[in-house]
Amino acid sequence: MEKSLGASFLIFCLHLGWVSCQQKVEQSPPTQTVQEGENTTFSCHYSDSGSRAVQWFKQDPGKGLISLFYIASEGKQKGRLRSTINRKELLSSLYITDSQPEDSGIYLCAVEPQ
Ligand SMILES: *[C@@H]1O[C@H](CO)[C@@H](O)[C@H](O)[C@H]1NC(C)=O
């Protein structure tokens, strides 16, 4: 059987008590399917310029929320995942290089208020 489907992603704005959740997600529609080996970018816009940090999570079925990155000022890298923040543009991005089927899932970004 041909394996053409790499990973499918869903991105959501996270609602937790301690975060403000005002960001819009650039992707439209918010579901994205990529081929295995492709690169993927998620963008998370937020509107509160006083926000201190952005946090990225992945939700895995049966495993709950996994914290991927906590980004306050500079970019971070973890294996094939990288995240950056641009405080001027109120934008945080999550990059996945060489997408693999196990990357499939729901990704969430949360903005920490002042
Ligand atoms: C994905 O990104 C990596 C690192 O930036 C680059 O080397 C590679 O060519 C990109 N792959 C594709 C399919 O664009």
Here the CATH number for the domain that contains residue 69 is 2.60.40.10
pTM: 0.76
Each residue's pLDDT tens digit, 13-34: 444 333 444 444 444 346 677 7
Ligand 1 atom nearest to 95, measured from its CA: 2
- Tell me if 43 is assigned to some domain: yes
- Tell me if 8 is assigned to some domain: no
Mean pLDDT of the chain: 75
Tokens, residue 94: 């999550």
- Residue 27's domain comprises 18-112
Ligand 1 pocket check: which of 34, 36, 39 to mutate, most ligand atoms within 8 Å of Cβ? 39
Question: So what's the pLDDT on residue 68?
Answer: 93
What amino acid occupies position 24? K
Q: Which among 41, 37, 42 has a CA at the least distance from the CA of 11? A: 42
CA 110 to ligand 1 centroid distance, Å: 27
In sequence order, the 6+-apart residues with CB closer than 8 A to the CB of 46 are 20, 22, 23, 54, 90, 91, 92, 111
* Cβ proximity of 99 and 33 under 8 Å: no
